[in-house]
């Protein structure tokens, strides 16, 4: 149980285009989803927290107009990187917290974004 999927697993896009990454909880309802960014050999940096049906809360330094997060249902959250630039190339990981779990987060496999 508690499986989180991400799609796509890898994406290459041209500079200036937008890319959407999906995060789904497959066998549970996720009241809260989190988006992290991981640079090579670096830790996971929390980007934002989103609760189903409400606006995401962004961490300091994360541009909300650039990284659009939507959490429209209890099983789906999306991250859209708008007007992507090479410096946005990174590994994006989502995690989800179940309705009946206050503390544990289940992580997706991540999406490797490369902006050329």
Partner 1 sequence: AQSVSQHNHHVILSEAASLELGCNYSYGGTVNLFWYVQYPGQHLQLLLKYFSGDPLVKGIKGFEAEFIKSKFSFNLRKPSVQWSDTAEYFCAVNANQAGTALIFGKGTTLSVSS
Binder among 25, 110, 113, 115 for partner 1 (CB under 8 A): 110
- Nearest residue to 72 via CA among 45, 92, 50, 44: 50
Q: In the complex, what is the shortest distance from the CB of residue 68 to partner 1, in angstroms, rounded to a whole number?
A: 19
Q: Does 10 bind partner 1 (CB under 8 A)?
A: no
Residues 14, 35, 65, 31: is their CA dihedral positive or negative? Answer: positive
Q: In the complex, what is the shortest distance from the CB of residue 42 to partner 1, in angstroms, rounded to a whole number?
A: 7
Q: Does 104 bind partner 1 (CB under 8 A)?
A: yes
Letters for 26-55 (x = contact with partner 1 by CB under 8 A, - = none) are: ------x-x-x----xxxxxx--x-x----
**Size of the chain, expressed as the number of residues it contains:** 116
| Residue whose tokens read 């549970």 | 28
- Nearest residue to 111 via CA among 22, 45, 40, 17: 22
Q: Is 25 helix (H, G, I), strand (E, B) or coil?
A: strand
Q: Does 62 bind partner 1 (CB under 8 A)?
A: no
Residues that bind partner 1 (CB under 8 A): 32, 34, 36, 41-46, 49, 51, 93, 95, 97, 102-105, 107-110
């Amino acid at each position: 149980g508690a499986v989180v999927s991400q799609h796509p697993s890898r994406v290459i896009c041209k500079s200036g285009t937008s890319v959407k990454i999906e995060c789904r909880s497959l066998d549970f309802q996720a009241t809260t989803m989190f988006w992290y960014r991981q640079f090579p050999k670096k830790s996971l940096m929390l980007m934002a927290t989103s609760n189903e049906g409400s606006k995401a809360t962004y961490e300091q330094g994360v541009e909300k107009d650039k990284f659009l997060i939507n959490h429209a249902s209890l099983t789906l959250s999306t991250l859209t990187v708008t007007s992507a630039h090479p410096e946005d190339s990174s590994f994006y990981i989502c995690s989800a917290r179940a309705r009946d779990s206050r503390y544990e987060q289940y992580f997706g496999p991540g999406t490797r974004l490369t902006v050329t």
